[in-house]
Structure 1
Amino acid sequence: MKNYIPLIVTQILNIKLYTLFRVKGKDINNHGNQTYYFSYDGLHNNNDEINVDLELQNKILTGKAEIIYPKNPKKIPQNINTNDIEINAIINRFKLGDLTLAEWKFVYYLITKNNSKNEKQIIDFEEFEYLYHYQGNTVTKEKQILNSLIEKQILIAYKNKENRKTEITFSNKLLDNIRKTGYKYKLKNIINFRCKATFPFYDYLVYQLKNENFETIELTLKEFKKTCSLNNKSYLRYSSLKNKVINPVINDINDSLSKNKYGLRVYLEEIKDNQKVIGLKINIIRKEKL
């Protein structure tokens, strides 16, 4: 039944393929602030069915999810193998600062598009939109990301081109984060992350793993926050840190492995002093592509 559910949903609602859904209001917290695709969207293998979660389907059928039609629903990027582009893991990616989820995704898009470390790069917001399930159909949303990244000294300037293309000037801060290390992973491993802290933390884990298939690391809570690009004064209560960051980050990483069939599997143990949690023991397992 699983493979037919998205098709049934599209028939009941009388909608087209490539239709996008975004969960409304308070339900966003349950499913992540992202856009959901039903049926084949041109970016995934046509044997895959995207987001067939029953709870989400019920929200769509009962009107608790809004339907979004892209401007050009059939204009899918030609190079659907972009997901297989390899990224070099940089241990100090967290030094880019406290970015929003959309900004982290955009930064990783820039990194994959500019692996030759050019100072200037022309990027395509339409491709970014499809890769990361991001809705930025208005110029205002795109400007917000670009201007914010300039304020955070990650970009220096940008110039709008035709067809939602933009010429971007990289800062040295970002260029330093585009270099060869030999410790790589693919864009598809991170493309569906829902927590902003997962992006720099995943880099950290890959770098710690290096070329091995298993590694155990221990981090104090302060060190964990640092690798996640979080201010040490945030989430002062462990219960808040666990619920808002630790669990979502671990779920992001493990869910990615479940979807792609290879990547990282992470097991976490709490390090305690009496009853107080003072750190985390993290077992990292790499599962190779068969």
Structure 2
Amino acid sequence: MKNYMPLIATQILNIELYSLFRVKGKDINNHGNQTYYLGYDGLHSTKDEVNTNPELLNKILTGKAEIIYLKDKKKISDDCTICDIAISAVSSRFKLGNLNLLEWRFLYYLIAKNSNKKETQIIDFKEFKFIYHYFCNTLTKEKILLESLVNKGILVDYKKVGNQQIEVKLSNTLLNNIKTTNYTYKIKNISNFKCIASYLFYDYLIYQLKKENFKVIEIDLNEFKKICSINGGSYSIYTNLKKRMINPILNDINNYVDKHKYGLRIFFDTIKQNRKVEKLKFTVIRKEEE
């Protein structure tokens, strides 16, 4: 049964459904600097919406969360199945370079939409925003994103062709990374990841699993860093690596299966020699979507 608390909340606040909020102040420490939906639009899972968390709903009603965007229903993707588009897993995706979180998200969107390796591609920021809950009201930030990808050799050029539609020309670096494999996952499986390394490591895990639903994977520290696009000299102290990289990756991937009851479940351990961590051990279990 649906929870209709958002409908009541919108009447109290005198706002429409589809609004977005961000927890502010000291409460960010508890919930992260992230956005939450208030309302049913028939497209998002209720598990992704703030109405399933009474504590967060209470923060909205008491002013501890701020409205950051009144969502226009016209900006919602016309294609409700866009989040189900598949991505072929490639274990060497880290070779695309040093990108920030937004750039990696955009890159995975491009890859998912361009399975035929077309040199030019028309992309729709409306779809991109819908998939990643990315909300940018001005074209300025979108231009910054595209310019950065051109400068980093991912895109060759871009031009506006319609309302929120951009034609992009992909570089050979990106085209060579778009491969068709038998090991795929849906873009919705990664859309809520908050750590850059989670995207890359998820790719790696899916590729290593292949068609199996269970596997134990052992990786030495340097290999792990390479997969996650971490500079080899960074996190030389294991405790820092675990805190800054390993734990966020585990949280991202395991949180998804906790919410949706399908995806990857990862159990983590270390292999030591003379009390020094030599390898990382990941036990991966895949639960299929019903």
8 Å CA contact retained: 1:154, 1:173: yes
**Larger deviation, residues 22-31 vs 171-180:** 22-31
TM-superposed CA distance for 1:275, in Å, is 3.4
- Inter-partner Cα distance in structure 2 for 1:172 and 1:27: 44
- Inter-partner Cα distance in structure 2 for 1:31 and 1:103: 24
- Inter-partner Cα distance in structure 1 for 2:116 and 2:283: 33
- Inter-partner Cα distance in structure 2 for 1:11 and 1:267: 44
**Larger deviation, residues 109-118 vs 266-275:** 266-275
What per-residue deviation string (whole Å, max 9, x for no partner) do you get for residues 40-74 of structure 1? 134224x6561333443343334332212346334
Instruction: Give secondary structure in 2 for the equivalent of 1:3.
Output: coil
Inter-CA distance 33–160: structure 2 relative to 1 (3 Å threshold): farther
TM-score with structure 2 length normalisation?
Answer: 0.91
Alignment of 1:259-270 (within 5 A): 259-270=259-270
8 Å CA contact retained: 1:84, 1:187: yes
Q: Match for residue 16 of structure 1?
A: 16
- Inter-partner Cα distance in structure 2 for 1:249 and 1:92: 17
Instruction: Give secondary structure in 1 for the equivalent of 2:196.
Output: coil
The one-letter amino acid paired with 1:288 is E
Q: Match for residue 193 of structure 2?
A: 193
Instruction: Give secondary structure in 1 for the equivalent of 2:264.
Output: strand
What per-residue deviation string (whole Å, max 9, x for no partner) do you get for residues 66-115 of structure 1? 21234633432111111111110001011112221111111111111211
Q: Match for residue 91 of structure 1?
A: 91
- Inter-partner Cα distance in structure 1 for 2:222 and 2:180: 28
Q: Structure 1 residue 126 and structure 2 residue 129: aligned?
A: no
8 Å CA contact retained: 2:197, 2:249: yes
**Larger deviation, residues 174-183 vs 60-69:** 60-69
8 Å CA contact retained: 1:189, 1:260: no
Q: CA RMSD in A?
A: 2.2
TM-score with structure 1 length normalisation?
Answer: 0.91
Runs of 5+ consecutive residues of structure 2 not aligned to the other structure: none
Q: Structure 1 residue 208 and structure 2 residue 186: aligned?
A: no
- Inter-partner Cα distance in structure 1 for 2:234 and 2:59: 33
- Inter-partner Cα distance in structure 2 for 1:96 and 1:200: 11
**Larger deviation, residues 27-36 vs 11-20:** 27-36
Report how many residues are paired.
289
Alignment of 1:1-290 (within 5 A): 3-24=3-24, 27-28=27-28, 30-45=30-45, 48=47, 50-51=49-50, 52-70=52-70, 72-290=72-290
Runs of 5+ consecutive residues of structure 1 not aligned to the other structure: none
8 Å CA contact retained: 1:35, 1:134: no
Inter-CA distance 178–225: structure 2 relative to 1 (3 Å threshold): same
- Inter-partner Cα distance in structure 1 for 2:107 and 2:151: 14
